[in-house]
Structures are given as C-alpha cells and as structure tokens.
C-alpha cells in the first residue's frame, strides 16, 4: 500500500511538471501582451511601458517562468497580472463555488442514475425501459452549453423562477446559493446521468444472470436483499470506474457551465485569464485542475479495494 502511494505521488509530480511545461510552451506561441490587452487601444504608451516593467513583463518569458517555478517550490503561486492580486487568493476565492457545483452535480448523478438504472434493469425491455434509453441517448447527445441555455430560457424567461448571474455565496445565503447552483449543477449532471445510468442498468442485468444470484435466491434471500447485497455491489465496480471519469468530466463541465450561467468560479477565471494572457493564473489553474484529476483517480483506485476485497493495490 505504501509503495503504491509513493509511486502514485511520484507520478503526480511528474504529471504536474509535464503539464506546466506544456502550458509554458503554449504561452510562448500565443500572440498578445497582457498589459495592452487589459488597457485596450486607448492606453497611453508611456503607461504601458512602465507597467510592463513593473510587472517584469519586459523580461524574456523563460525568466518569468523561472521566477514562477521558483515561487511554486516555495509554495507561492505568484501574482495575477489581470487582477493585481495573489493567484492563491483568486483560486481560493473561487474554489467553494466550483467545488460545490461539482459536488452537487455528482450527487445528482448518483442519486438519479443508480435508482433509474436498477429500475430499468428490473423491467428489462419494457416500454418504460425503452423510453428511458431514448431519453438518455438524447441527454448524452446534447452539449452542456446548449442544455444550459435551454434551461436558462425555460426557467429564467418563461417561468421566471431563476435569474442567472445572481450568485450569492453559501456563507451569505444558503438557500440562495443552492438555488443559483441547482440549474448549473443539473446542466452538468444530465449528460453524465445518461452515461452512468447505462452502466448501472447493464451491470445489474448482467450480474442478475450470474450463478451466485441464483444461489442467493435458492438460499431464500429476499429479492431486496439479493439486489442490495449481491447484485448491486458487484455491478457497481464498473460504475465506479465510470464515476471517476464522470467526476473528471464534471470538473471540466464546470468550466463551460460557469460561462453559460455567469458564475464566478474557477472556470470563468480560467477563460478570462487565457484571453488576457495572465500567465501566472493560467499556470496555477492548470496545475490545480491536473492535481484534482490525478487525486480523483487515486481515490477511485482505493475505492475499488473497498468494494471488492479481491482487488489489491500493488
């Protein structure tokens, strides 16, 4: 187990270094100057020159990169060019929103897709099952930004139940925050529900035909107990792999959905920072996202062994 964790940790560091270098290289190719982009065409050239110098932007990019990496090692993520504040503060300010959005999406996915999958599997090939398959097929096919716009139109314009961009933090108004995050979370969740639902359904059908299920029934176990103790547990292993992937998708989904719903989260920060050529912020965010994905994969691996003791971490 320890060796496994150490190996994973090594892999994590290697991944982060690799990703950081790629980001750096991409920024070398991108045209555009952060200060000019921020101040626009009406800017006084004298001011641009002075600000570039103050920010150290007149140095070659590899030196700026060097400073940044040096800072990372000391645990300092550097200073945002666009917002003139520490990258750390910018990211931490936005984490609660993005994490709760991702978490809510995941909860919705789990609590909708697993019951739906089980129900569909128990009534295999009935017209309800068929209908669900068609719906989920649609759910997977519709891009999330489009889904988001439809939901805003429906709940914002037609029913007037929801006003996009009126996000309030959890600390200020719990129900307000929940209300402003529910639609975005649903937007992210719908395509993932479809994916997860199919795995649950197929898993339950497949496991239901196994010998051990017949044995369990033969022993006189109730239908509920057979389902919950035997079938579900075994059919959830492939689902868990998928949930790991889904969580990664959810993290990526927040980037798009935050744009559509004008939510001040990590995703919106990332898009803004790229368009303003705010290298320190982009570097910090890309590393954060990579870190989250690697950690999720790690957790999924550990969960495997919990669900199925036969799987050992080597």
Partner 1 sequence: MRKVWVMSVTFAMLILLISGCSSNGQTKKQGEAKKEITVRMMADPDYLDPHKATASLTFQMLLNVYEGLMKPTPNGGVEPAVAESDKISKDGLTYTFKLRKGIKFHDGNPVTVDDVKYSFDRLTGQSGGAPLSDLSQIIKSVKTPDQETIVISLKKAYSPFLSQLTAMNAAILEKSNDSKQNTHPIGTGPFKFVEYKPQNKLVLEKFADYWDEDLPYLNKVTFSYQPDDDAASLSVKSGNLDLSGVTANKVDEVKTNNNIIEQNNNAVFLMGFNNDKKPFNDERVRQAISYVVNKDDVIDAAFSGHGSKLGSNMSPAMGKYFNKDLVDYYQPNIKKAKALLKEAGYGNGFSMTITVSSHNKVYSEAAQVIAEELKEVGIDAKINVIEWAKWLDDVYKKKNYEATIIDFTGTISPFEMLSRYQTNDPSNMMNFSDSQFDSLMKQAMKENDDDQRASLYKQAQKVLTEKAPAVFICDYQTEWALNKQFTGFKQYPIYYLDMAHIKPAN
Mark out the alpha helices in 142-229 (DSSP H runs). Answer: 144-151, 174-208, 211-219, 223-225
The answer to the question of residue 56 lying near partner 1 (CB under 8 A) is: no
Which of 2, 60, 73, 159 is the binder for partner 1 (CB under 8 A)?
Answer: 159
Within 10 A of 299 (CB to CB), how many other CB atoms are there?
12
Cβ-based burial of 182 (10 A; exposed 0-12, middle 13-18, buried ≥19): middle
The single residue listed with the structure tokens 């914002």 is 156
Smallest gap from Cβ 296 to partner 1, in A, equals 26
- Judged by CB under 8 A, which of 155, 206, 241, 298 binds partner 1? 155
Q: Which phi and psi (to 5°) does residue 76 adopt?
A: -110, 120
> Which DSSP category does 153 fall into?
I
Maximum alpha-carbon separation in the chain: 86
**171 φ/ψ angles, rounded to the nearest 5 degrees:** -65, -25
Q: Which stretch binds partner 1 (CB under 8 A): 64-72, 179-187, 235-243, 288-296?
A: 179-187
97-126: contacts with partner 1 (CB under 8 A): 112, 115-116, 119-120, 123, 126
The answer to whether the beta carbons of residues 200 and 239 sit under 8 Å apart is: yes
- Of the candidate residues 46, 73, 158, 306, the single one contacting partner 1 (CB under 8 A): 46
Of residues 137 and 163, the one with the C-beta less far from partner 1: 163
What is the footprint of partner 1 within residues 195-234 (CB under 8 A)? none
- Per CB under 8 A, residues contacting partner 1 are 30-33, 36-47, 49-51, 53-54, 82-85, 90, 93, 112, 115-116, 119-120, 123, 126, 128, 132, 152, 155-157, 159-168, 173, 175-180, 182-183, 186, 261-262, 264, 268-269, 272, 275-277
């Amino acid at each position: 187990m320890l060796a496994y964790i150490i190996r994973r940790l090594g892999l994590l560091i290697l991944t982060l270094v690799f990703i950081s270098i790629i980001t750096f290289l991409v920024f070398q190719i991108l045209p555009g100057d952060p200060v000019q982009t921020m101040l626009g065409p009406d800017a006084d050239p004298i001011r641009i020159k002075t600000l570039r110098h103050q920010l150290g932007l007149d140095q070659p990019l590899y030196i700026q990169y060097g400073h940044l990496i040096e800072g990372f090692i000391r645990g300092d993520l550097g200073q945002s060019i666009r917002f003139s504040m520490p990258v750390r503060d910018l990211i931490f300010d936005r984490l609660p929103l993005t994490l709760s959005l991702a978490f809510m999406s995941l909860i919705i996915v789990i609590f909708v897709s697993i019951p739906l999958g089980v129900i569909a599997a128990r009534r295999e090939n009935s017209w309800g099952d068929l209908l669900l398959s068609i719906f989920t097929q649609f759910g997977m096919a519709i891009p999330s930004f489009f889904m988001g716009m439809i939901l805003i139109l429906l709940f914002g314009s037609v029913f007037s139940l929801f006003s996009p961009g009126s996000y309030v933090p959890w600390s200020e108004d719990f129900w307000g925050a929940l209300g402003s995050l529910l639609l975005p979370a649903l937007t992210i969740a719908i395509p993932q529900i479809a994916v997860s639902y199919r795995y649950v359904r197929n898993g339950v059908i497949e496991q239901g035909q196994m010998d051990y299920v017949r044995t369990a029934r033969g022993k006189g176990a109730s239908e509920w107990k057979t389902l919950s103790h035997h079938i579900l547990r075994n059919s959830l292993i492939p689902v868990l792999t998928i949930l790991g992937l889904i969580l990664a998708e959810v993290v990526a989904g927040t980037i798009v959905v935050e744009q559509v719903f004008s939510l001040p989260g990590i995703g919106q920060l990332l898009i803004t920072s790229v368009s303003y050529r705010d290298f320190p912020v982009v570097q910090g965010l890309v590393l954060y996202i990579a870190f989250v994905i690697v950690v999720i994969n790690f957790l999924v691996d550990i969960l495997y062994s919990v669900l199925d003791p036969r799987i050992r971490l080597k």
